[in-house]
């Protein structure tokens, strides 16, 4: 899926759309990509002279990738409901291409449970387990 196709699934828009492409692989995992340009709003103060993508933004990149695995997300709002066992191993820097790999572990009604990781340059940056709800949009 390219960025325009992603916009049909995700309600996010720039500057919070943090996926440039996403596909589902043979193992049923969503694999997304985002290249950090260096001029993103979240790098402006984190940290001046030594920009590093904040961990919470990396978690958001992982979560956005999961939406490719949810067929009924159209016209809904995917909303975080939990974040567990988050680990930060290596920094994500301007110029890096983040590769997010996500799999669903369970689904109960509107609640989805997943695990994912974000890698760059062949190194693990972030891993997490998380949950989110597929909430109908208000008219």
Q: What share of the chain is helix, strand, coil (3-state, %, to 5)?
A: 20, 40, 40
Question: CATH number for the domain including 71?
Answer: 3.10.129.10
Rg of the chain over all Cα atoms, to the nearest angstrom: 14
Bridge pairing between strands 97-108 and 21-24: unpaired
pLDDT in tens, 57-68: 999 999 999 989
Catalytic residue from among 7, 12, 46, 107: 46
Alpha carbon 66 to chain centroid, angstroms? 7
**CA nearest 75: which of 14, 16, 13, 136?**
136
Whole domain around residue 62: which residue ranges?
A: 3-136
C-beta neighbour count of 10 within 10 angstroms:
19
Q: Write down the pLDDT at residue 14.
A: 95
SS3 41: helix
Domain count, the chain: 1
pTM for this entry: 0.95
Establish whether 12 is a catalytic residue: no
Is the CB of residue 61 less than 8 Å from the CB of residue 32?
yes
pLDDT in tens, 84-133: 999 999 999 999 999 999 999 999 999 999 999 999 999 999 999 999 99
């Amino acid at each position: 899926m390219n960025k325009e196709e992603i916009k049909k699934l995700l309600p996010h828009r720039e500057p919070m759309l943090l996926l440039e492409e996403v596909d589902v692989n043979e193992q049923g995992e969503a694999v997304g990509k985002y290249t950090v340009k260096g001029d993103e709003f979240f790098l402006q103060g984190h940290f001046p002279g030594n920009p590093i993508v904040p961990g919470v933004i990396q978690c958001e990149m992982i979560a956005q990738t999961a939406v490719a695995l949810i067929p009924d997300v159209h016209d809904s709002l995917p909303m975080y409901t939990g974040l567990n066992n988050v680990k930060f191993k290596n920094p994500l820097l301007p110029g890096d291409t983040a590769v997010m790999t996500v799999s669903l572990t369970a689904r109960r009604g509107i609640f989805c449970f997943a695990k994912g990781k974000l890698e760059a340059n062949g190194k693990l940056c972030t891993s997490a387990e998380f949950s989110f709800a597929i909430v109908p949009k208000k008219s």
